[in-house]
Chains A and B, each alone.
Chain A
């Protein structure tokens, strides 16, 4: 466990965030929560509690589907940009906040092109720069040694765990400030899961991480801070040690002890 002190700078924070799906469902209710810089924050809670919905607010994924509505703010520091503001382009937000999905979702392209895609989108054409960045990202995602001799192979030929690390490399290649993980290991076997968890711990040196997980042991193992959500509300937030050893709310305790959820 990492030692925590209350003076860790805050990278981003949600302030009174409400979210409505296009059918009118209010999926998030008045959520406020900080993301500490270069720390891992885990979101836990039963299915349908809104943790993935909350995560996908950070990179404005909900904008891809018409009719969804945000209220409140998610402010990024140090520039104080409210990523949910109308004037802020979701593309700009996604260039600063990258995402790793529940199921590995590589493009049907080569390993190299998968990682390079974020750079291509930014108009980077210098082959040396792209080569270097791809190598750096693959090393950062702890998959370089496995793929360095077959960078032009199709990404689909990798195993599930390798594909997920490739997706992490893809998200890493563009030097994001925050990385979102949406249940990144739920489709993986235990060994691949352990690899991803170790990788997340290493990534903490470079960037701020927000991870949604179904697995409470995972939250306890990898995260510095934990938030428990239930029915779209933030029930409890605190450093992971206190949440798991001395939860202040009965609901949190019931959930983490397995009485409920």
Chain B
């Protein structure tokens, strides 16, 4: 009995100490929460300030003429038409090049490739490729696409270059989405007699395409803002014409001349305007910057929304 009551007394004495200890430990909680919040705000507020500043500086140019005018020597009449059309066409090529290749490569690595030192090596290199400076891709493209393959300084070259640039992003996000599918689901499919391709097509792709799509959109958003590799391959900075239209009035209705056309893209147009001494062009540059950021935000927002929507029915 006496041992028991001794324990009780010491337990009550200890209580005060325990409470003091908990208070001490909790102080660290608050401290870290504050540091974290400050770090977050520093990043976010800087970005926000930049964006608001761009919006403010470019505010006089947010009208339809800005989007429907070619570049001009007079700042007030200079528009973004050739740049945004160029961006759209380049992104189309990028999409068509990077998505099938990236998804197929990711699927192969994850589902089909034997797991050995060689596939490990490839895995490490794919992740490293995502970190290669984009100008290096530009140099590679200059040698390979522009000269060796003779594609010239064209939309095709730019699209393929950016496609290469975002390929690792697509591959990595494909693999990660696939890996999120539980082993139990795959085993369930195999257990009823499915082949590997049936498992991949009926299950793996169906349950992971939300994540894959997110990776694609984020990659495309990155490609949209890329400047260095496009300059390296020799995009024009001032063009007052549009590439031939991909769609024609008579059969076969499709036309691929646009692929070999010269072009410019939005970030290059922005860079061009920014490098002029006349301040009026800087307004155009700010407006272009704001538009690029808006489109990027819109793409990322779409990615988040799609992921949420697609994952809603999947619980694991």
Contact = CB atoms under 8 A, between A and B. Distances in A.
Interface string B104-131: 0000000000110000000000000000
A170 B314 contact: no
A171 B313 CA distance: 23
B193 A121 contact: yes
What 5 A-B pairs have minimum CB-CB distances, sorted nearest first? A118-B192, A105-B184, A95-B193, A99-B191, A94-B193
Interface of B: 114-115, 182, 184-195, 198, 202-203, 207, 313-315
Given A107-B203, A156-B315, A91 B195 contact: yes
B192 A105 contact: no
Interface residues of A, number: 27
Interface stretch (A23-31, A59-67, A191-199, A216-224): A59-67
A107 B189 CA distance: 8
Contact of B191 (A103, A154, A156, A171): A171
Given A103-B184, A105-B185, A108-B314, A118 B193 contact: yes
A98 B115 CA distance: 28
A107 B188 contact: yes
Question: Which interface residue of A94, A106, A121, A174 has the most chain B CB atoms within 10 A?
Answer: A121
Interface string A203-234: 00000000000000000000000000000000
A98 B190 CA distance: 10
A92 B193 CA distance: 7
A98 B207 contact: no
Contact of B192 (A92, A106, A156, A174): A174
Question: Which interface residue of B186, B188, B191 has the most chain A CB atoms within 10 A?
Answer: B191
Nearest to A92: B193
Nearest to A117: B192
A106 B314 CA distance: 11
Contacts of B192: 94, 98, 117-118, 121, 170-171, 174
Contacts of A64: 186-187, 190
A150 to B, nearest CB: 15
A197 B193 CA distance: 25
A122 interface: yes
A168 interface: no
Contacts of A103: 184
Nearest to A59: B191
Contacts of B193: 91-92, 94-95, 118, 121-122, 174
A156 B316 CA distance: 10
A167 interface: yes
Interface string A29-71: 0000000000000000000000000000001010010100000
Contacts of A94: 190-193
A101 interface: yes
A118 B315 CA distance: 22
Contacts of A59: 191
A101 B203 contact: no
Given A66-B115, A107-B185, A61 B194 contact: no
A167 B188 CA distance: 9
A120 B195 CA distance: 12
B116 to A, nearest CB: 9
19 contacts: A61-B187, A64-B187, A101-B184, A105-B184, A105-B187, A105-B188, A106-B188, A107-B185, A107-B189, A108-B207, A108-B314, A118-B192, A120-B202, A121-B192, A154-B313, A156-B313, A156-B314, A156-B315, A167-B188
Contacts of B182: 105
Given A108-B314, A156-B315, A117 B114 contact: no
Nearest to A100: B191
Interface in A70-123: 91-92, 94-95, 98-99, 101, 103, 105-108, 117-118, 120-122
B315 A108 contact: yes
Contacts of B198: 121
B305 to A, nearest CB: 19
A118 B313 CA distance: 22
B187 to A, nearest CB: 7
Nearest to A114: B188
Contacts of B202: 117, 120
Contacts of A108: 185, 207, 313-315
Nearest to B181: A108
A103 B207 CA distance: 19
B189 A61 contact: no
Nearest to B190: A64
Nearest to A167: B188
Contacts of A170: 188, 192
A171 B191 CA distance: 8
Contacts of B186: 64
A134 B17 CA distance: 65
Contacts of B314: 108, 156
A95 to B, nearest CB: 4
B144 to A, nearest CB: 36
